[in-house]
Amino acid sequence: MKLLRVAAGVLNQTPLDWSGNLQRVIQAIQQAKSHGVAILCLPEMCLTGYGCEDAFLAPHVQALSLQHLQRVAAETAGMAVAVGLPVSHAGGLFNTVAMVVDGKIVGLAAKQHLAGDGLHYEPRWFKRWPAQQSVMIDLAGANVPLGDLIFDIGGCKIGFEICEDAWVGSRPGAGLAQRGVDIILNPSASHFAFGKHEVRRRFVIEGSRAFQVSYVYANLVGNEAGRTIYDGDAMIASGGKLLAIGRRFSFADVEVTSALVDLQWTRMLRLQTASFQPQVQSQGTSRIVEVEFELPVASLVPASPEHPSATPATLAAMHNVELVAVSCDLSTEANDCSTSTALMPDAMLDTLPTKELEFTYAVALGLFDYLRKSRSHGFVVSLSGGADSAAVTLLTWFAWYLAARHLGQDGLLKKTRYIPAIADRLARKIDSGKPAASATELAHQLAHETIWTVYQRTNNSGPVTEQAAQAIADWVGTRHGVWDVQPPLEQYHRLAESSLGRPLSWQTDDITLQNIQARTRSPGVWMLANLHNALLLSTSNRSEAAVGYATMDGDTSGGLAPIAGIDKNFLRHWLRWLETVGLPELGPIPAVQAINRQQPTAELRPAQQAQTDEGDLMPYDLLDTVERLAIRDKMSPVEVLEHVTFQFSQYSAESLKTWVKRFYTLFSRNQWKRERYAPSFHLDDENLDPKTWCRWPILSGGFAEELKGFS
């Protein structure tokens, strides 16, 4: 057997944060070295950050990338490291991965399939590299190969599938296998979406089986550039077996997941495969970069008590490979997620978090990173006592809570010590010498110091929503205020009436009176955010965005819209889940009952009108179904009506026809609102964000032709 320890490094990078990105790359290399890693794969574009957008085209960005690559190379003595960066050649810019071996840059593999759909706009900046082509380029005064390459490092052959390369039908891995590679590295910047982990797991395991290789997948983690959340998800597989899996949604800047692989075993599998046909080429056209360096061979004797190796019996039981897994149990306390050599059954590695958990972890991580990377001092929420604002407020608490669990008290405080309240807390902790608070205690304490909520009532507000808002604020621990905004609202009424020469009334000015009420709440809450240098969070959801059921410069006010990518139906389900189930380590949150027992309402009309959201629009489960069919699946109104008539037979045919027409009319009419929404998080393929996912004309025919016969 020939054992090598390989590793995937997961990094929380920031576009154009040169010193920070470099520091984290070096930290990952140092961690890998301490574990005896021979080959380390780091994420795609990890030197620049993946989300640089048009900055990729700036010559100084390309130049700085190469300078920092030289600094990384100096840290790689005794090992091989794959580092992602942009490289220009022949008038084009290419998404590449530098292979750095024992302090020397030996070549650059280039991405062959560019991600150009959904969130990704790689063809705007990069050119795809043609398969089976390579050139020599000048890199900092040295000639190095660039292109479709294999690196033969002391007899171990390494090839690349760079992110999208593994998602296409014609994966480069098949050709790499024919050319005799032992290991495929996949540096990725693969954004989070519900259920995406399972897709990645399948192509990693299946790639290792079909290509008879060891496969190393390394991804980004955290909120890198504002809208996109990365979930980490490092994986290592060999010969069809998943050997190691990294913790997802980690709040740590750097995590390294490693495993032992046996080159002789995967070579034997290939020899035994009757259908395998090697590609036989002459040496001059093989595009193999030979590197005279012996990768450090792993030993069966423990290198250290903290990082033991496998025993011969263990290796034999696993077909000559060791299973080294980092726990993916997100309820584990900080510092308990160390690498373990315990043989974990496949069932444990196959365990997938529920959608409720993924939503909680993803948005909490997105909020935490957005807060610290924007240098904001906390969060402000206009807490109306309804489902949306309650969900946003709870998610801010989960950001602190999960950060505390993953980082520990000291790690969390150090990561956010730029916030004055936390700097004071650090100083007091050092002076007092008190024991660390639990994650729950710390989250409630930090919520009181960094989260501000306010209930803004008018004459149309009722005691139910006010009490519900208070219940959520009390549980979270926010600094909560109750403001009476009826006096400024009446002043606006008088101003308008003086111009109109008549009084305003609900009979003639319904929408105007609703909108000014929502807008009157905006200036004060913006002022609160300014006073505390805090991030004002908008509370609009995707269902409202679809039909424009939101007041611009009212409830859409904010610098970030954390739930604008999720539908109202799921949000209500998630809140019921929090009330009855909750996170495994926390259990139910009884305070949420005050939210769940209400019917969603904007509460902008007088109480006697009994306004509800579904009364204004349609049932939310129907709305979300129509949205999915119409926008995601691109169906016509007639096709949508056919589907919902069968699925929602409890409603009359006339009502369904009215609601379908209402959706299409409102969707096309309100694109301008979606264009003005604050940045939101991407969570699934039903996103309506026009900046990243769902482009639609602001002005259009409004489906007039398609809706003929619906009147």
Helix (H, G, I), strand (E, B) or coil at 30: helix
Asked if the model's pLDDT at residue 701 lies above 70, the reply is: yes
- For 160-201, write each residue's pLDDT tens digit: 999 999 999 999 999 999 999 999 999 999 999 999 999 999
Yes or no: say if 180 and 155 are a contact pair by the CB < 8 Å rule. no
- Any long-range contacts for 314-318 (C-beta under 8 Å, 24+ apart)? 314/341, 314/343, 315/1, 315/260, 315/262, 317/343, 318/241, 318/343
The burial class, CB within 10 Å (0-12 / 13-18 / 19+), for 560 is: buried
- Give tens-digit pLDDT for 81-90: 999 999 999 9
**Mean pLDDT, residues 125-131 taken together:** 97
Beta strands (DSSP E) in 149-203 are 150-153, 156-160, 183-187
More confident residue, 45 or 336: 45
Is residue 151 within 8 Å of residue 291, measured between CB atoms?
Answer: yes
How confident is the model over 445-503, as pLDDT tens digits? 999 999 999 999 999 999 999 999 999 999 999 999 999 999 999 999 999 999 999 99
pLDDT at 434 over 80: no
What's the pLDDT at 275? Answer: 81
pLDDT score at 435: 74
Specify the pLDDT at position 258. 97
Mean pLDDT for 16-39 is 97
State yes or no: pLDDT of 323 exceeds 60: no
453, 480, 523, 537, 707 from 526: Cα distances, Å: 12, 15, 5, 10, 41
- CA atoms within a 13 Å half-sphere pointing along the CA-CB vector of 597: 10
Contact 50, 224 (CB under 8 A): yes
Residues paired with 256 in a beta bridge: 9
What residue ranges define each of the domains in the chain, with the CATH number in brackets?
A: 3-353 (3.60.110.10), 376-485+521-600 (3.40.50.620)
Task: Please return the burial class of 29, using the count of CB atoms within 10 Å of its CB with bins 0-12, 13-18 and 19+.
Answer: buried
- Band (80; pLDDT cuts 50, 70, 90): very high
Instruction: Tell me the three state secondary structure of residue 655.
Output: helix
**Amino acid sitting at position 45:** M
Under 8 Å between Cβ of 687 and 565: yes
Confidence of residue 313 (pLDDT cuts 50, 70, 90): very low
Of 257, 235, 265, 407, the closest CA to residue 332 belongs to 407
* Mean pLDDT, range 388-392, rounded to an integer: 97
Query: CA–CA separation, 93 vs 206, rounded Å?
Result: 31
Cα–Cα distance for residue pair 105/582, rounded to 1 Å: 49
Q: Note the pLDDT tens digit of each residue in 353-365.
A: 799 999 999 999 9
Tell me, what's the pLDDT at 324?
A: 40
* CB contact at 8 A, 298 and 3: yes
The pLDDT value given to residue 322: 37
Asked if residue 337 lies in contact with residue 247, where contact means CB atoms within 8 angstroms, the answer is: yes
pLDDT band at 351 (very low <50, low <70, confident <90, very high): low
Alpha helix segments (H runs only) across 35-77: 59-73
Q: How far apart are CA 190 and CA 196, in angstroms?
A: 9
From the CB of residue 697, how many other CB atoms can be counted at a distance below 10 Å? 9
Angle at 162 between CA 156 and CA 167, to 5 degrees: 120
CA 606 to chain CA mean position, Å: 41
Split at pLDDT 50, 70, 90, the class of 431 is low
The answer to whether the CB of 243 falls within 8 A of the CB of 261 is yes
Return d(Cα 596, Cα 576) in angstroms, integer. 6
